[in-house]
Structure 1
Amino acid sequence: MKKQIAIFAFEGISPFHLSVPAITFSGREIGDTHYEVSVCAERKGLLKTNAGFSIEITHDLTLFSTADIVIIPSWHEDVSITPSAALVEAILSAHQRNAQIIGLCLGAYVLAATGLLDGQSATTHWAFAGDFAARFPAIRLAADVLYIKAGQCMTSAGTAAGLDCCLSMIREQHGAEVANQVARSLVVPPHRQGGQAQYIVQPIPTSKRNGRLDDLMEEIRTNLAADYSIDQTADKALMSRRTFTRQFKQRTGKSFGDWLLDERLFYSQRLLETTSLTIEQIALQAGFNTSVTYRYHFSNQFGVSPIAWRKTFV
């Protein structure tokens, strides 16, 4: 079986972003499928990258009309630049043909501009999360995941998370064993635990679409050692349990319990990296009842023990 992948390039594109889907799919048989990978742009000819060299583009947007998978591997760092009407139309036409549409890193901005993500969940590079949420309020931003699928569309977090997204596509279509084989050939983990929040120095920017929840979340972040039940937290937000649960999921892309666990784990990471506190002390400060519980959740989330994590940064 053959599948055609069309990767979109634009003036000033990062060669790394362009190469991520190309190196994942190009020149290999994956399962029972041969992927034909081609790069296109709005116009054929030489296209400058941001690395000081140019690449020759031999396909234009008509490539989208036959592609099984359309990948927008990035976008301009000046995200105020909107995709052209021709690009939007080509993506929508491909979507109508049931092609899979992928937006890696800032490529999520292009998918968002088409309206395909309205009412769906999406992600992008954490540094642009606040801007993305403000520009596209109809999209449920899941700012701390590495990638997320919404129907025929997928979006990923920044830079190397594009590899995670591409491997997840292979895993979905061909199974874990095949995805693991591709990951081994690329010398990358077949599946990274956790989300992009583990790489963020400052908290993820938030929009002001729900100031009450935003304020409550910030208050909880300042005292993660306290006990929090859904009913008590909903009362504090002046909401019923049902309304709080629904609005919190819309705001963060996850349940309150999952969000609280992630926040506690991310806080513990900072303590591991910047303090000499014992594991037992960190567990208590981060809101875990015992160090055993803390070690379990940390290893389950990040694939390493707290001690191993600390050694990486010390």
Structure 2
Amino acid sequence: MSRDNTMAVIDPAVAEQISVRHLAVVVFDSVSLGIMSFAFGVFDMAAAHGELSDLDVRVVSGEPDATLTGGGLACPVPYDLDAIRTADLVIVPNWRSPQESPPEPVLNALRTAHTNGARIVGLCSGAFVLASAGLLDGRSATTHWGLAGLLADMYPQVEVDAAALYVDDGDVLTAGGGAAGMDLGLHLIRSLCGADVATKLAKGMVLPPHRQGGQAQYIESPIPEFDDEDPVTETMAWALTKLDTNLPVDELAKRAHMSRRNYDRRFREITGTAPATWLTHQRVIRAQRLLESTVLPVDQIARYCGFTSAAALRPHFRKLLGVAPAAYRETFGLS
């Protein structure tokens, strides 16, 4: 796994051997035209720049009588499942409901395409279609961060990485929500046409060639709910008011009138993690919020959150969010 926002990026020597002549984009009824732009907008831009001029793009109906909608328009989908079976690259940009099973005919067509050597791509909720077809079994994958927990629960055989913008597992690729589909599109262009072409296209689309930090920056961390009757959760609520101070776990256990061993055990039952790890996580979340909402110097924010300095905050912040505090502020701070 890479250290930033992608996984298992294709080796450049292998990339030279990859070619795509037939691209099938699978859509289901009433899919938004806006969502489709994430699916093959990068490929359209490549064609406008004289790249992949022989690429045959076919929009395929994943179920009978599917239409594209948006802006008061309703467009029929011209191709059937045969275009999937003969494609070199298949992209599934979304699926309307993770709880609904995709039609079996389209799942069979995806399996056939994969068996025939096609690369299969799932964007956002489209990852659920790939998972339903069994194409993500035993693989790393991602989806929109808000759906990652559901994907992991529904398909425990899939190794879900909610923080990645996209995951390239060779012949099966997945991306997070929205613009992450464009990130994966640029990655595919990079593998097909080289880094220079991908960078040129990114500049033309006013996009970074490679975004840092992944979806981790966008994952919401709601304030936890606590039970005042539980001594451990009471100490957790108390600790959130003292994050700017030293908080030894022994002190929390003492406040809960529990032995350290029993406190640690109960804490793990509630949170799934150790008390010290949870405290560090909460300190970083506090720093994240202050970086978004104030113009305080990073060093001062670090001290408000219980770190001795900005340098002490930085590795913990980067580990959780994938970028340094200063870079996070540039993206999400006050303008």
After TM superposition, is the score higher than 0.5? yes
* Preserved contact between residue 314 and residue 324 of structure 2 (Cα < 8 Å): no
| 1:288 shift after superposition | 5.5
Of the three residues 263, 272, 291, the one matched with 2:310 is 291
Residue 268 of structure 2: aligned partner: none
Separation in 1, partners of 2:184, 2:198: 11
* Preserved contact between residue 72 and residue 103 of structure 1 (Cα < 8 Å): yes
| 1:196 shift after superposition | 1.4
Amino acid at match of 1:157: G
* Preserved contact between residue 44 and residue 59 of structure 1 (Cα < 8 Å): no
| 1:18 shift after superposition | 1.1
Larger mean CA deviation between 111-120 and 1-10 belongs to 1-10
TM-score with structure 1 setting the length: 0.73
Separation in 2, partners of 1:99, 1:25: 17
What secondary structure is seen at the aligned counterpart in 1 of 2:55?
Answer: strand
Of the three residues 14, 29, 42, the one matched with 2:32 is 14
Separation in 2, partners of 1:101, 1:73: 11
Separation in 2, partners of 1:261, 1:180: 37
Amino acid at match of 2:69: T
C-alpha distance 96-30 of structure 1, shift in aligned 2 (>3 A): farther
TM-score with structure 2 setting the length: 0.69
1:55 corresponds to 2:69:
no
What secondary structure is seen at the aligned counterpart in 2 of 1:151?
Answer: coil
What secondary structure is seen at the aligned counterpart in 1 of 2:117?
Answer: coil
Separation in 1, partners of 2:174, 2:305: 31
Amino acid at match of 1:18: M
Amino acid at match of 1:94: A
1:168 corresponds to 2:190:
no
Amino acid at match of 2:34: F
Of the three residues 304, 319, 323, the one matched with 1:301 is 323
Larger Rg: 2
What secondary structure is seen at the aligned counterpart in 1 of 2:109?
Answer: helix
C-alpha distance 84-313 of structure 1, shift in aligned 2 (>3 A): same
Structure 1 unaligned blocks of 5 or more: 206-214, 228-235, 238-250, 252-259
Residue 297 of structure 2: aligned partner: 278
* Preserved contact between residue 41 and residue 59 of structure 1 (Cα < 8 Å): yes
Larger mean CA deviation between 94-103 and 29-38 belongs to 29-38
Separation in 1, partners of 2:49, 2:73: 30
Higher RCO (Cα < 8 Å, 6 or more apart):
2
Identity %: 35
Kindly tell me the number of residue pairs found equivalent between the two proteins.
279
Larger mean CA deviation between 59-68 and 165-174 belongs to 165-174
| 1:279 shift after superposition | 1.3
1:36 corresponds to 2:53:
no
| 1:269 shift after superposition | 2.4
Residue 159 of structure 1: aligned partner: 178
1:5 corresponds to 2:41:
no
Separation in 2, partners of 1:180, 1:262: 35
C-alpha distance 308-70 of structure 1, shift in aligned 2 (>3 A): closer
Residue 182 of structure 1: aligned partner: 201
1:82 corresponds to 2:106:
no
| 1:145 shift after superposition | 1.2
C-alpha distance 273-42 of structure 1, shift in aligned 2 (>3 A): closer
**Aligned alpha-carbon RMSD (Å):** 4.1
* Preserved contact between residue 44 and residue 57 of structure 1 (Cα < 8 Å): no
| 1:118 shift after superposition | 1.1
Separation in 2, partners of 1:308, 1:179: 24
| 1:91 shift after superposition | 0.3
Larger mean CA deviation between 107-116 and 42-51 belongs to 42-51
* Preserved contact between residue 165 and residue 180 of structure 2 (Cα < 8 Å): yes
Separation in 2, partners of 1:115, 1:278: 49
| 1:275 shift after superposition | 4.5
- Superposed, 1:104-143 pairs within 5 Å as 104-143=123-162
Separation in 2, partners of 1:41, 1:24: 21
Separation in 2, partners of 1:204, 1:197: 17
Separation in 1, partners of 2:21, 2:217: 34
| 1:286 shift after superposition | 5.3
C-alpha distance 309-94 of structure 1, shift in aligned 2 (>3 A): closer
* Preserved contact between residue 105 and residue 156 of structure 1 (Cα < 8 Å): yes
* Preserved contact between residue 85 and residue 112 of structure 2 (Cα < 8 Å): yes
- Superposed, 1:58-73 pairs within 5 Å as 58-73=78-93
Residue 209 of structure 1: aligned partner: none
- Superposed, 1:194-213 pairs within 5 Å as 194-202=213-221
C-alpha distance 203-162 of structure 1, shift in aligned 2 (>3 A): farther
* Preserved contact between residue 128 and residue 151 of structure 2 (Cα < 8 Å): yes
Separation in 1, partners of 2:209, 2:48: 17
C-alpha distance 276-50 of structure 1, shift in aligned 2 (>3 A): same
C-alpha distance 226-105 of structure 1, shift in aligned 2 (>3 A): farther
